[in-house]
Chains A and B, each alone.
Chain A
């Protein structure tokens, strides 16, 4: 009995620790992205810990403006949704809530925070927010088609829908990235990731110069702080999904063989990998202008989706032969 309670407490502690780690890495990534952009633009840029300062400042502001209880809860909804998605992902080969890390479940969980985002924006009643939400849903529709097709190709290839099993199959550096057909798949998914992270050229939903940050236009203070946490955690979740799919999830040492040392090394490798994936996105963000919504749709459905269909056909044919 006592042992069970201790077990549960330990589990809760680990979960809380992981969520905190996720948020901390997200804030750090925000600072790194701003510093890298600044250096690309030949500026000095803010300190790397600027993300922490911004979030703490936002939570210290007064909430003298609200637009009803849906508006208040929406930000919380987003943050908890993204934290849940993070806990269902295998991070560095270590799954927290589910040992399977089912891909379909994760796709659904990734839609929950976006829904919260849309709810809050709708409750604010600002026309810019409505336009932003429309654009966000449209671009979601656009990038999910090629992404899901590449995922299906991987499911067929590895004969499993479990992300944990895909990660396990890529152990000992047998990364999907090094298989030629999935190298192309990784490029397709990276473009979809660019849309997921809302970096240029696919930052259509945010677009500060056109529609004044779109869905976030009415958010400020603590609400905006929660939304920033959601966006920061979102970068960690989405890059982790990419790393899990194509780069073996950062697993280099087997836990059974090396014990706690393996966890340390794996987490370090995972951190470096998601940082590299994120930095590629940031650098693309810095050199490209913004697409219009129909251009983004055309890009994803005409080029990205075509290549994804080619990969899908290749894999099906390869399995049958």
Chain B
């Protein structure tokens, strides 16, 4: 069955591209439902920081080889440390995306045992992909202030 039939409130952005907005409790069921109905390819999990609304938007991208259709499941959670359930049992590759989002945005995925240091080594500051992390100020305060080697 197509995503439009599975989820009546899905909006079709254009041909072959469907967007579904869900609550965070529904996400595991929705992924399972799509997986059983031909959407077998989990493409990726991405995260958007909506700083004015105070929300993180997690987007689960799915693809069906049968219908040639790209489904985006969007979940909004609060920015201030709301937990999300990990879906690594359904698609094992989600684990890596969850680790990355945990490192870059600080979202906590309950049930993922490998959340920890991933790409950054020994990063002591705020997760760097958050909008309230001022990259330019950080760079000017750190790298440009490291002193030249004094040859006296």
Q: Are A and B in direct contact (Cβ within 8 Å)?
A: no
Contact residues of B with A, CB < 8 Å?
A: none
List chain A positions with a Cβ less than 8 A from chain B: none
